[in-house]
Amino acid sequence: MVANTTPTVRRRRLGAELRRLRQESGLTSVKVAKRLMVSQPKISHIENGRRAINLHDVRALCALYGVTDQQTLGSLLGMAQESKADPVEAGLCECVAGASPGVWAGTRPLVQFPT
């Protein structure tokens, strides 16, 4: 995967691939949601890249869709992991609303995560 691809683009690519697999399996998003006991909008948001997906959900969807190829599963899991990349690390904060790279100097994040 290209290093400068944003997490949003990665989520959209993953969602499109999951939608393709769902359609190939002959399932509707409503049926998938019922079988996984989640809301249909959650499935839609994942497929449209508006919601990140955890690795457990990727595995559950792949099992439901009949994905048995370990290379395909591994690729999808990798895409899910990459889609959660920190936007600060990806350099996105420096290009928000056309801000110059130095605009964030001296600011602190609202939440500190352990590194």
Q: What pLDDT digit, counting tens, does each position of 26-44 carry?
A: 999 999 999 999 999 999 9
Residue 96, in any domain of the structure: no
Residue 93, in any domain of the structure: no
Host domain of residue 33: 7-85
Q: Does the pLDDT of residue 112 top 70, yes or no?
A: no
Residue 58, in any domain of the structure: yes
Q: Tell me, what's the pLDDT at 86?
A: 52
Please state, in angstroms and as integers, the Cα–Cα distance from residue 89 to each residue in 4, 31, 92, following that order: 10, 37, 8
The CATH number of residue 32's host domain is 1.10.260.40
Q: Tell me, what's the pLDDT at 106?
A: 52
pLDDT in tens, 57-111: 999 999 999 999 999 999 999 999 988 765 544 444 444 444 444 544 555 555 5
Residue 53, in any domain of the structure: yes
* Structural domains counted in the chain: 1
